[in-house]
Amino acid sequence: MPLLFFSTEETNFLFIILIIFAAIIILLFFLVLFLLFKKKRTKHFNNANNDNKMLLEKKIDKLEEISNLTREQTREIFLKKFEEELNMYILQKIEEANNKIDSNANAYAQEILMNSIQNISTSFISSMPSLVINVSPEEKAKIIGKRGINKKTIEQVAGVELPLLDENNKNKINISSLNPIRANLARNFIKHLITLNSIDPIIIEKTFIKEKEKFEKHLFDIGKKIIEGELKIFDLNHLVYPYVGRLQYRTYYGQSVLQHSLECAKICESIARDLNLDAELAKQVGFFHDIGKSVDFEFNHDHVFYGVKIANECELNKYVIDAIKTHHNETPSLYVYSSIVKVADSISAGRKGAREARSETIFKRASNIENICKEKFGLNEVYVMHAGRSVFIYLRNNLFINNDERNIKKLIYDIKNELNKNEDTKNYLINISVYKIDSISLKTK
């Protein structure tokens, strides 16, 4: 046999090759069977799809026949319906997302405000010194002087009034002035005069100059203590320190303006920190937004105008200036810090007990304004708003014979002069707005 010519090892090798070859033949056989089966099955599916397409075509033709619509028209109807449903779904999801955002935003805003209110406390407590000085009869006589000469000199140099003739307060000296700085300077000044052995007009004038210098240094020291000690701000122009010191003696509806400014600074700092903004900058902006109230009482009570003037003089930053201009919504805010100041201003001013209501004072001022306009100028439609700071006058065509622009300007000027003469209105900045209305009547029958 041929295998006899091979060795045992060669025989085994040939046997393995034969087995491998047989396995390959078998695999090829099954592969051919698989391909044939797949081809047959694909043909079957294609035939089924063709049958379905034919059936669908017949149905579409039937629908076209029934609805009198072409295939393109039907397609457009289906696409439009699908687009409407898709838009409704999208709007629903958008509304759900907005509601979720609003809910989360409200919760986040409430958390920020609560944190700010909790951080409102400051270590500085502002207290207003009394403008009534207790004196003995001898001391009071010394202040009055012979024939009242000392009293008159004190009133002239200090710019205050000393109503000493009150029988119910024989042992007291009352200092009266609409300027809180002059009033408090006069208080220190008079207390110093009382300690002197004797006084006359010359000594009074020299003493006042020294007390004024001392008081100005006192204002500077207060400002430095607040800015550097309380607020920890060390890079400001020192010109601003006396203005800050003056806020110690300024009140607004019974609330200390300095205390209010410190509270606003703390609230702005807290809100900015929660919003990942510059907390130090927000603190500075919040504190200086009412800096104009340090001098506004010396002019026309327009603290916004004089606040901007002080900010420019003392080289405060643009964010502070924008907050001063916009915190009463007179102009739109340019920076987010100004919006934060508005929130802080409302929180501090609206805090229970922060400001006196003074409803009687406001009502009296509003009544005086209304009476002046009605009684002295014959106006009927006069509306006093914003705690007596805005007056709206409506003129109808039967009120004035010459209802032109020149006469209206003269009317506003005359009302302004009358308000400046009135004790209850002369120290307030009041906006007067006049509107012309041409009334037309028509009978239905």
pLDDT of residue 216: 95
Angle among Cα 105, 107, 110 to the nearest 5 degrees reads 105
Q: How far apart are CA 347 and CA 342, in angstroms?
A: 9
Band the pLDDT of 328: cuts 50, 70, 90. confident
Which amino acid is located at 66 in the chain?
Answer: I
What SS3 class is residue 166?
Answer: coil
pLDDT of residue 226: 95
Instruction: Give 221-235 pLDDT, tens digit per residue.
Output: 999 999 999 999 999
pTM listed for this prediction = 0.58
Q: Is the pLDDT of residue 17 over 50?
A: yes
**Quick count: other Cβ atoms within 10 Å of Cβ 15?**
10
Using a 10 angstrom Cβ sphere, with 0-12 exposed, 13-18 middle and 19 or more buried, the burial of residue 327 is buried
* Adjacent-strand bridge partners of 392: 383, 433
Asked if residues 310 and 287 have their Cβ atoms less than 8 Å apart, the reply is: no
| Three-state secondary structure string covering 362-421 | HHHHHHHHHHHHHHHCCCCEEEEEHHHCEEEEEEECCCCCCCCHHHHHHHHHHHHHHHHH
422 token code pair = 């009135």
The pair phi, psi for residue 74, each rounded to 5°, is -65, -40
Q: How far apart are CA 368 and CA 430, in angstroms?
A: 13
41 token code pair = 């099955």
Half-sphere exposure of 115 (CA within 13 A, CB side): 14
Q: Which of 153, 162, 164 is nearest to 187 (CA)?
A: 162
Asked if residues 395 and 437 have their Cβ atoms less than 8 Å apart, the reply is: yes
384 token code pair = 């006093």
Q: Which of 325, 302, 171, 310 is nearest to 242 (CA)?
A: 310
Asked if residues 373 and 422 have their Cβ atoms less than 8 Å apart, the reply is: no
Which amino acid is located at 178 in the chain?
Answer: L
Mean pLDDT of the 303-309 span: 93
DSSP letters of 93-143?
HHHHHHHHHHHHHHHHHHHHHHHHHHT---S----PPPSEEE--HHHHHHH
- In the sheet with 381-385, reading across from the earlier edge strand, the strands are 381-385, 390-396, 431-437
Mean of per-residue pLDDT scores for the chain: 80
DSSP letters of 292-354?
GGGTGGGTTS-HHHHHHHHHHHTT--HHHHHHHHHTTSSS--SSHHHHHHHHHHHHHHHSTTS
Q: Is the pLDDT of residue 71 over 80?
A: no
Which of 14-28, 293-307, 343-357 shows the lowest mean pLDDT across its residues?
343-357
Q: Is the pLDDT of residue 106 over 70?
A: no
| DSSP for residue 254 | T
Instruction: Give 261-290 pLDDT, tens digit per residue.
Output: 999 999 999 888 888 899 999 999 999 999
Strand duo 381-385 + 255-256: pairing: unpaired
217 token code pair = 């240094």
235 token code pair = 């890079």
Q: Is the pLDDT of residue 398 over 50?
A: no
Residues 6+ apart with CB under 8 A from 215: 184, 185, 188
Q: Which of 357, 359, 382 is nearest to 369 (CA)?
A: 382
Chain position carrying tokens 């699908």: 82
